[in-house]
Amino acid sequence: MQVPSISFRDMEATPALTACVERWAAKLDRVYPRIDHCQVVIDRPHRHHHRGQHVRVRVVIAVPRGDIVARDGEHENAYAAIRDAFLAARRQLVHRFA
């Protein structure tokens, strides 16, 4: 797999978050090596101001038999949101190709 395509919406892109996404994407490649492309969208919705700033992550993985889309819930910690989204994607890969 190539380097994942990472988009940040309503938040600043940081080298640390980018590196975190790239590490998780590399782990997916070990689960299923025929991944064509991985797209990750990290955004901070503008709602729930009274509950703090939350981060959402969506991972779209292009594989030969169609796309896998994984989302996490909203987390205050961006790293936890990334982890949960990639773990959900991993579960879907294992379920589909195991």
Domains parsed from the chain with CATH numbers: 5-97 (3.30.160.100)
Which residues lie across from 47 on neighbouring strands? none
Lowest mean pLDDT among 22-31, 46-55, 80-89: 46-55
What DSSP designation does 2 have?
Answer: -
* CA–CA gap between residue 42 and residue 75 (Å, rounded): 11
What would the pLDDT profile of 33-53 be if each residue is shown by its tens digit?
Answer: 899 999 999 998 876 556 677
Q: Kindly state the percentage of the chain with pLDDT values over 90.
A: 65
The model carries a pTM of 0.89
- Asked whether 71 and 56 are in contact (CB, 8 A), the reply is yes
